[in-house]
Chains A and B, each alone.
Chain A
């Protein structure tokens, strides 16, 4: 954080501690990962060699490989992988549902921080958009590569408290309006809203030629209904109360969970987007690595 030019919250030791802790975790998660390996969606001719292509006018002559012409008497051009900047916007769902268990919220924060850290380390600009939630220093942080960007993102992550409804459909529309051109959009959420309600907005976002990658965070204990004792389950978003006997409804609930997850998965598959599922109880390293390498758990 020594590079940061963004003013750290020195007057708020607790926040500062959370920022540091988050930074440490993020660095640990991305440590050893081969950064900069995310694949560009567009081909270029400046960097990594991909192969030869016949020269076809009016292609610029500067791209002609004259050495190859000398050897083979044929005009060819060298095709290389472009190494242009890839703007990345991370979208964090800070709705109350995501904060229903500490593990789930912590996992969401850490994976978001790790992704931001990794993208910046790769030299790409990164931004942040927080849906719902309260108390954050910034709700929207434009994608930049400047010094202090990471600190600003970590500050926002460390300060936000889960609250309210994410309104995923609105969030996706809002993100879509802010992105221009080649952008990598990373979604971190539990997607605990009816897929039918937000799949349309997701589709609109995908039609902007963005690279969509999503991490679905969940709590394994929560989706298995926890203890057997009857309890009254309270929705943190609506306040609705559901008296349930977990032992009695567990099988039926599992079926509903499976159905819902299939619906979420189908929504992303339809948009040729990549989706990772990450339990609060599991390590985020494989998910972050897969995300960076575009090696999806579920591929389009």
Chain B
């Protein structure tokens, strides 16, 4: 049993069975209360006169006596169980082994504020560092010193020779140690410490906040090994009295590509409910503020809350940030996340065969499918093939080609557009010639075209559409595959069957005879879809089927990612390696960290490696300023959890109880207390109730 850091154990727990004896006084009391004798009494007039007072006094007297006796018996019986109180020994004197190794926790959680130091408060890290410096000054002369940090785990200083100048040099080094925004690894630091100890005893003084799940228990083996060689781990806890921290645990842009919401997750690791201000900063510089009530942490975990921001209809893409005003641990108050360009996701329709009537116009159906209501839907730009110059990767995200007879003039722009992440949907028609397409669009076509094939005459309904291989693109339709079964086509463009060498090609929809209907191919960062029918009513009835608007909307949403203007979107954590893919033939790239500072990175074959040391928006860009990757770097979530799951002292005490525990035998205390209670009970019982004034002998 543990209470307030003290462990209570019973050396003779079987004696607890004797506790039933505590019922003895109670039973005796009840037995005594059951009056068996009855007497005729001729002076009840006189009893009436003192009835109320005597009954009250008797009740009080009896109950006090009963409580005293039961307590005395309980204490006596408890004493028989040989209870022993144990608590971890706190060593105040250091240097006994001649070697002292300082371990400084430099993790992010050491930024906790409100740690008592001197007359005021400071951060946990500042208090820890100051404590370490004070320890250095108090050590006996000749003590050999070393120091290790936890984030990143590395040796600050190896063993000194024990001279005064060595202590001064170590103090200077400790004074220059800075807290990191990375996660700490006490276990790794202790491994380094054990390496420095080299099997010889030393006192390992750990300055830490003991915060974080599993941080202490992960060090059990280290404690055991250090204790085994005659050393000890002396904790110097530097933490606020009560853990408190609110962190931004998540931030994501909502569904849909055209506007929506940003959902921000907040976590409260403190015990009390708190209201915080949350500020969203968009890449374009706009700020939005909201307030949130975050429940306190409980037995089930940290308290949480969600904040939703409605973003503008148009916003610049890039790395946005969410900040929460939390004074307890400022280092994790901000979270960076990727925000796609909002409101720029326009659709470009290249109409190669403007029809004379709406039913013969692909544009007519695409506009209805994409903008039936108005707001919240992508706008549609319609151009003729000759207007391909209007294709702007910064504005357009999906291009629909509809029955373009000669795609050759379009291909260079389209290839560049798709490789940067744009989406291209190719719709066919009577104007399409297989040879021209196969020749000019070889790098874009998912499969080479063969020929137009009639599947029935004009009076036939044609063949039905069926789902092909499962795909993320059509995943929303997985639960309702029959949605496509009503689509009929009387004529299609056949394609070469996919071969093993056609990597990245997938047939998502098929006609009833197995002819591919919708074929997907990844090209660079983008995707190309080939629809082997028409996007008007020329060859089939797809545009007038109910599934058409949903299909067009889904394809636009799925293909409408960033166009590559901001490069790859990468998420990273401070202190953990980041690998960014860079084309092997790409010219030299630069890594830019927060504050537009150039950072060092390691260039490998087809990749760039670096370890971010601070949260923020990092960027990998080529010499031409073309962004290769945007990296949203955040603080390690584990460091935000400032709750303490255990203590080094307690773990050590559990591992070596006889060596590091103070034992206190409670037997004499309990026996003495029982005796005192019995004495009080005896005196209480012996002293008669106080007679009222004027009392005299009743017997004449």
A residues near B, CB below 8 A?
Answer: 96-101, 104, 190, 192-194, 218-220, 222-224, 226, 229-238, 240-245, 247-261, 277, 279
Contacts and interface: CB of A to CB of B under 8 A. Distances in A.
Contacts of B38: 231-234, 241
Given A254-B696, A258-B694, A279-B700, A219 B688 contact: no
Contact of A97 (B39, B42, B691): B42
B699 interface: yes
A257 B43 contact: yes
B35 A255 contact: no
Interface string B51-71: 101100110010000000000
Contacts of A190: 42
Counting contact residues on chain B (CB < 8 A from A), the size range is 35 or more
A224 to B, nearest CB: 5
A233 B47 contact: yes
Contact of B46 (A226, A241, A256): A256
Contact of A249 (B44, B45, B54): B54
Interface in B641-689: 688-689
A192 B688 contact: no
The main secondary structure of chain A at its interface with chain B is mixed
Given A97-B45, A231-B37, A255-B691, 10 more contacts: A97-B44, A192-B43, A192-B45, A233-B41, A235-B44, A248-B57, A249-B54, A253-B46, A255-B692, A255-B698
Those 8 A-B pairs whose CB atoms lie nearest each other, nearest first = A100-B42, A255-B695, A257-B698, A254-B698, A233-B41, A235-B44, A251-B691, A258-B696
A252 B42 contact: no
Contacts of A222: 41-43
Contacts of A241: 38
B91 interface: no
A279 B47 CA distance: 20
Contacts of A238: 44
B1 interface: no
B480 interface: no
A242 B689 contact: no
B42 A101 contact: yes
25 contacts: A96-B42, A97-B45, A99-B42, A101-B40, A190-B42, A192-B43, A229-B37, A230-B32, A230-B35, A231-B35, A233-B38, A233-B44, A236-B41, A240-B48, A248-B61, A249-B50, A251-B690, A251-B695, A252-B695, A254-B699, A255-B692, A255-B698, A257-B46, A258-B698, A260-B49
Contact of A104 (B42, B690, B692): B42
Contacts of B54: 244, 248-249, 252
B42 A192 contact: yes
A253 B57 CA distance: 13
Contact of A277 (B48, B693, B700): B700
Given A248-B58, A249-B58, A242 B695 contact: no
Contacts of B699: 220, 223-224, 254
Contacts of A247: 688
B39 A233 contact: yes
Nearest to B46: A256
B697 interface: yes
Contacts of B695: 251-252, 254-255, 258
Nearest to A231: B37
B700 A193 contact: no
Interface centre among B688, B689, B699 (most CB of A within 10 A): B699
A224 B698 contact: yes
B43 A232 contact: no
Contact of B58 (A236, A245, A261): A245
A30 B692 CA distance: 42
A257 B51 CA distance: 13
B686 to A, nearest CB: 11
Contact of B50 (A101, A218, A253): A253
